[in-house]
Amino acid sequence: MSEVVNLAEKFAGFSEHWAPRIVARYNDNDIRIVKVEGEFVWHSHPETDDFFLVLEGVLDIELRDRIVTLRPDEIFVVPRGVEHRPVARQGEVKLIVIEPTGTPNTGDAATATQVEAL
């Protein structure tokens, strides 16, 4: 049965960067939390939009033609197929991402971070 997910408790349970944890499932999507710092890789997801909600810190999402800056309580959805690179330039960022279950976080199973359930 579904249980309450307390995000502060879940974030306290790990410290690795760019290593998402699944904290809930909604239909066929993972609700993932992640801590990030520094640069990720350029990638895209051909089959799915990419949902970001920043909870703490400042996250740049670089697109090929602009940079979108997200502060706490801001959402951005990268449309499917759009190349992007998340970069946390100002220290650690905590965020929620939502992706269909099984989606590799780099857009490529060969390079993706293993996603663990918490």
Tokens at 39, concatenated? 């640069």
Contact residues for its own copies, defined by CB under 8 A: 1-8, 23-27, 29, 31, 48-49, 51, 53, 55, 68-71, 73-80, 96, 98, 100
Minimum CB distance to its own copies smaller for 95 or for 110 = 95
Instruction: Choose between 36 and 98: whose C-beta lies nearer to its own copies.
Output: 98
For the bound state, the minimum distance from the C-beta of residue 57 to its own copies, rounded and expressed in Å, comes to: 15
Least separation in angstroms between CB 101 and its own copies: 12
Distance of CA 92 to the CA centre of its chain: 13
Q: How far apart are CA 95 and CA 72, in angstroms?
A: 9
Backbone φ, ψ for residue 81 (5° rounding): 85, -5
- Which amino acid would we find at residue 101? T
Among residues 4 and 110, whose Cβ is nearest to its own copies? 4
**Where do we find the tokens 């349970």?**
13
